[in-house]
């Protein structure tokens, strides 16, 4: 289920999504940088900067 809320940082949005029943999910690229908290690990997903 997807949920979005306003961040404490100006101009930022916090969102959360979980796969149904603990399965796997995907984060699709949208040109923005995302910080992912996954099972105790911080991951960064963002646009390519070649």
Task: Evaluate whether residue 50 is within a structural domain.
Answer: no
How high is the pLDDT of residue 38? 82
- φ and ψ at 3, to 5 degrees? -140, 140
Distance CA 33, CA 23 (A): 24
Burial degree of 39 (CB within 10 A; 0-12, 13-18, 19+): exposed
Query: How many domains would you assign to the chain?
Result: 1
Average pLDDT over residues 22-50: 74
Record the pTM.
0.41
Domain assignment present for residue 30? The answer is yes
Q: Cα separation of 33 and 8, whole Å?
A: 17
DSSP symbol at 11: T
pLDDT on residue 48: 62
For residue 10, the enclosing domain spans 2-45
């Amino acid at each position: 289920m997807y949920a979005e809320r306003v961040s404490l940082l100006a101009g930022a949005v916090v969102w959360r999504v979980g796969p149904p029943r603990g399965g796997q999910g995907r984060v699709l690229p949208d040109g923005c940088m995302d910080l992912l908290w996954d099972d105790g690990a911080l991951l960064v997903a963002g646009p390519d900067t070649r």
